[in-house]
Structure 1
Amino acid sequence: MTAVDATTAGVGADPISIFGPVAAPRAVWENVGTTVAPRVLPALERRRLWERRYSRLLALTDSVIVLLVSALPGALDLLLTPVVAGDVLNVARVTALTTPVWLVMLAAFHTRSTQIVGSGSTEYKRVAHATGFAFGILAILFIVFQWQGVREQLIVALPIGLVGLLVGRWSWRKWLIRQRRFGHYATRTLIAGKPKDVEYVIRSLTRDGNLGYTVLGAATTQPTPDELTVDGRAYRVVGTMDTVAVHARELGADSIVVASRPDDDPDFIRRLSWDLEGTAAELILSSPLTDVAGPRISLRPIDGLPLIHVRIPTFEGGIHMLKRAMDVFVAVLALIPVAMVTPLIALLIKLDDGGPTFFHQVRIGRDGREFRILKFRTMRTTAEQELAALRDANEGSGPLFKLKRDPRITRVGAVLRKFSLDELPQFWNVLRGEMSVVGPRPPLPSEITAYDGTVYRRLYIKPGITGLWQVSGRSDLSWDESVRLDLRYVENWSVMSDLMIMWRTAQAMVRPKGAY
Structure 2
Amino acid sequence: MPAARWREPLWVRGHRARAVVADFGCASLSGALAFFVRFGEVTPYVVPYVVLSAALPVVWVCAIALNRAYEARLIGLGPEEFQRVLQCGFMITAALAVGAYVTKTDVARGYVVLAVPLATALTLLVRYRLRRSLHRRRARGGCMRRVVAVGHRAAAAELVDRLRRERYHGMEVVGVCVPRGGGPEVAGVPVLGGLSDVPLVVGQAEADTVAVLACPEMDGTALRRLAWRLEKTHTDLVVAPALMEVAGPRTTIRPVAGLPLLHVDHPELAGLRQVVKMLFDRVGAGALLVLLSPLLLALALAVRVSGPGPVLFRQTRVGRDGAEFMIYKFRTMVTDAEQRKITLMSDDGGVLFKIRNDPRVTPVGAWLRRHSMDELPQLINVVLGHMSLVGPRPPLPEEVARYGDDVRRRLLVRPGMTGLWQVSGRSDLSWEESVRLDLRYVENWSLMLDLQILWKTWSAVARGAGAY
TM score, norm. by length of structure 2: 0.86
* Counterpart secondary structure, 2:176: strand
Give structure 1 stretches of 5+ with no counterpart: 1-36
Shift of 1:301: 2.5
Q: Aligned runs of 1:102-121 on 2, under 5 Å? A: 106-107=64-65, 109-121=67-79
Aligned residue among 4, 17, 20 for 1:59: 20
2:270 aligned partner, one-letter code = E
For 1:335 and 1:150, locate their aligned partners in 2 and report how far apart those are by CA, in whole Å.
42
Residue in structure 2 matched with residue 409 of structure 1 by the alignment: 361
Q: Indicate whether 1:338 and 2:292 are aligned.
A: yes
Partner of 2:106: 147
Which residue pairs with 1:209 in the alignment? Answer: 167
The secondary structure found in structure 2 opposite 1:164 is: helix
Q: Which of 23, 43, 46 is the matching residue for 2:8?
A: 46
- The structure-2 alpha-carbon separation of the partners of 1:163 and 1:393, relative to structure 1 and needing over 3 Å to count, comes to farther
CA distances 1:452-473 after superposition (whole Å, capped 9, x unpaired): 2222222222221110011111
In structure 2, the CA distance between the partners of 1:385 and 1:290, relative to structure 1 (3 Å rule), is: same
Alpha-carbon contact 1:379-1:408 (below 8 Å) kept: yes
Q: Name the structure 1 match of 2:314.
A: 360
**Is the 1:436–1:465 contact (alpha carbons within 8 Å) kept by the matching residues of 2?**
yes
Specify the alignment match of 1:486 in structure 2: 438
For 2:219 and 2:226, the matched residues in 1 are separated by 11
The aligned residue for residue 151 of structure 2 is: 193
Tell me, yes or no, if the aligned pair for 1:297 and 1:311 is still in contact at 8 Å. yes
Structure 2 vs 1, CA of residues 265 and 409 (structure 1 numbering), >3 Å: closer, same or farther?
A: closer
Letter in 2 for 1:424: L
Aligned partner (choices 196, 217, 223) of residue 181 of structure 2: 223
In 1, distance between residues paired with 2:452 and 2:21?
Answer: 25
Q: Where does residue 452 of structure 2 map in the other structure?
A: 500
Query: Quick one: which of 254, 268, 272 aligns to 1:314?
Result: 268
SS of 1:404's equivalent in the other structure is coil
The answer on whether the counterparts of 1:193 and 1:260 sit within 8 Å (CA) in structure 2 is yes
Does the C-alpha gap of structure 1 residues 384 and 194 become closer, same or farther in structure 2, counting only changes over 3 Å? closer
Given that residues 259 and 286 in structure 1 are in contact (C-alpha distance below 8 angstroms), is that contact kept between their aligned partners in structure 2?
yes
Question: Counterpart in 2 of 1:418?
Answer: 370
The aligned amino acid for 2:429 is: L
Amino acid at match of 2:149: I
SS at match of 2:190: strand
1:476 to 423, 428, 434: 428
Q: Which amino acid aligns with 1:189?
A: V
Query: How far 1:335 moved relative to its partner?
Result: 3.0
Q: Is the 8 A contact 2:281 2:383 kept in 1?
A: yes
Alignment deviations for residues 247-282 of structure 1 (CA, whole Å, 9 cap, x no partner): 222332222122245638752212222222322421
Cα RMSD of the aligned pairs, angstroms, is 3.4
The equivalent position to 1:439 in structure 2, one of 377, 388, 391, is 391
CA distance in 1, matches of 2:92, 2:451: 22
Residue 412 (structure 2) aligned to one of 450, 457, 460: 460
Greater CA drift, 331-340 or 300-309: 331-340
Code of the residue aligned with 1:445 in structure 2: it is P
The CA deviation string for residues 317-336 of structure 1, in whole angstroms up to 9 with x for no partner, is 34334434443454355334
1:482: Cα distance to partner? 0.8
Aligned to 1:210, the other structure's residue is in SS state helix
**Cα deviation per residue 1:202-261 (whole Å; 9 max; x = unaligned)?**
223323222222322112222331x3141xxx2222222212212222332222122245
> What are structure 2's unaligned runs of at least 5 residues?
none
Q: Alignment partner of 2:185: what SS?
A: strand
Query: What is the letter of the counterpart of residue 442 of structure 1?
Result: P
SS at match of 1:115: helix
Amino acid at match of 1:277: E
Indicate how the Cα distance of structure 1 residues 146 and 319 shifts in structure 2: closer, same or farther if over 3 A, else same.
farther
CA distance in 2, matches of 1:329, 1:77: 39
Larger Rg: 1
Correspondence for 1:23: none
Cα shift readout 1:313-364 (whole Å, capped 9, x = no counterpart): 1112343344344434543553344212123212221221143332233322
How big is the shift at 1:417?
A: 0.1
Q: 2-side partners of 1:319 and 1:60: how far apart?
A: 40
CA deviation after TM superposition for structure 1 residue 198, in Å: 2.2
- The verdict on how the C-alpha distance between 1:46 and 1:155 changes in structure 2, with shifts beyond 3 A counting, is closer
- The Cα of 1:485 is off from its aligned counterpart by 0.5
Residue 254 of structure 2: SS of its match in structure 1? strand
Q: 1:52 to 1:406 in 2, by over 3 A?
A: closer
Query: Deviation at 1:162?
Result: 5.3
Establish whether residue 278 from structure 1 lines up as the match of residue 232 from structure 2: yes
Partner of 1:288: 242
Change (3 A) 1:461 1:127: farther
SS class of match (2:464):
coil
Farther off after superposition, 145-154 or 393-402: 145-154
Rounded to whole Å, the distance in 1 between the matches of 2:110 and 2:276 is 26
Q: Distance in 2 between matches of 1:332 and 1:114?
A: 43
Distance, in Å, in 1 between the alignment partners of 2:166 and 2:214 is: 22
CA–CA distance in 2 between the matches of 1:128 and 1:369?
A: 42
Change (3 A) 1:430 1:74: farther
1:404 positional shift = 1.9
Q: CA deviation at 1:137?
A: 6.0
In the alignment, is the contact (CA less than 8 A) between 1:38 and 1:277 conserved in 2? no
Deviates most, 330-339 or 111-120: 330-339
Structure 1, 115-124 or 179-188: larger mean CA deviation: 179-188
Aligned to 1:24: none
Matched residue type, 2:288? A
Shift, 1:118, TM fit: 0.2
Please say which of residues 65-74 and 407-416 is displaced more in the overlay: 65-74
Question: How many Å apart are 1:296 and its aligned residue?
Answer: 1.8
TM-score normalised by the chain length of structure 1: 0.79
